[in-house]
Amino acid sequence: MSDVIESLASKYGLYLCVECGKCVAICPMGEIYTHVSYEISPRGIIERILLDPEIPEDDCLWFCLTCDLCTNLCPAGVRFRDFVEVARQVAIKNGITEYSSFCDGCGTYLYPEHILGYLKQELGETAEELLTLCPRCRRYDFGEKLKAQIPGKRKVGSLEVETGDSR
Ligand code: SF4
Ligand code: SF4
């Protein structure tokens, strides 16, 4: 996998990093997570990838909120957020799935578990319903619930549509 990661590191400018630390200073992860270490900071991950161009098998890639603030501030043009998003897809394709949550309906990747945990903590029970399905499955689920609640047929434009139980 090192060829893929080296190529991503080059594409997203990780080799350009001048270790100024501005990305660490602006990164909001410190406000979201209770324990933040250098290992999960953008600078820490860049350093690690450049020393060992492999997808980390631990969870360091799965904390980033992909807000892109670090990219906007970086004086060297490093696109860390873009790197993380693609590196996560590479990790999932290589079987590293334990740090991600997937849609209960179709299995599409949704969010890192760390972000989901934070959202659940902030939103409480509402999060269960909102964050377990992808937008497409949520729309389908909503339609099914609607059909179950409104029995019989109804007009949608020029069509007559079955909306559930026709008793
Ligand atoms: S802001 Fe850019 S150059 Fe500075 S440490 Fe972060 S990635 Fe490297
Ligand atoms: S994109 Fe990720 S690493 Fe960069 S500032 Fe946002 S949360 Fe931090």
Domain count, the chain: 2
Which pTM was predicted?
Answer: 0.84
- Smallest-distance ligand from the CA of 41: 2
Confidence of residue 162 (pLDDT cuts 50, 70, 90): low
Q: Which ligand 1 atom minimizes the distance to the CA of 14?
A: 7
pLDDT at residue 148, as a whole number: 81
Question: What is the structure's pLDDT at 125?
Answer: 73
Report the amino acid identity of residue 50.
L
Report the nearest atom of ligand 1 relative to the CA of 46: 7
Among 96, 112, 139, give the residue marking a domain's end: 96
Domain enclosing residue 135, as ranges: 99-167
Q: What is the pLDDT of residue 141?
A: 86
Residues with CB under 6 A from ligand 2: 23, 26-29, 42, 64-70, 80-81
Q: Which residue has the tokens 């999960």?
A: 40
Shared-domain flag, residues 6 and 65: yes
The answer for residues whose C-beta is within 8 angstroms of residue 25's C-beta and 6 or more apart is none
Residues 84 and 12 occupy one common structural domain? yes
Pairwise CA distance, residues 136 & 130, whole Å:
12
The string of pLDDT tens digits covering residues 101-154 is 999 999 999 999 999 889 888 888 777 777 889 989 988 888 888 888 776 666
Same domain, 10 and 78: yes
Amino acid identity, position 128: E
Record the tokens describing residue 135, joined without a space. 């937008």
What CATH number corresponds to the domain at position 23? 1.10.1060.10
- Ligand 1 centroid, distance to 45 Cα (angstroms): 11
Question: Rounded mean pLDDT of 16-37?
Answer: 93
Amino acid of residue 39:
E
Q: Which atom of ligand 1 is nearest to the CA of 70?
A: 1
Residues 113 and 62 in one domain: no
13/85 same-domain check? yes
Judgement on whether residues 21 and 46 belong to the same structural domain of the protein: yes
- The pLDDT, as a whole number, for residue 167 is 46
Q: In which residue are the tokens 């903590």 written?
A: 121
Task: Specify the pLDDT at position 158.
Answer: 65
Q: What is the pLDDT of residues 43-95, one digit of tens each?
A: 999 999 999 999 999 999 999 999 999 999 999 999 999 999 999 999 999 99
What is the whole-number distance in angstroms between the Cα of residue 144 and the centre of ligand 2?
A: 37
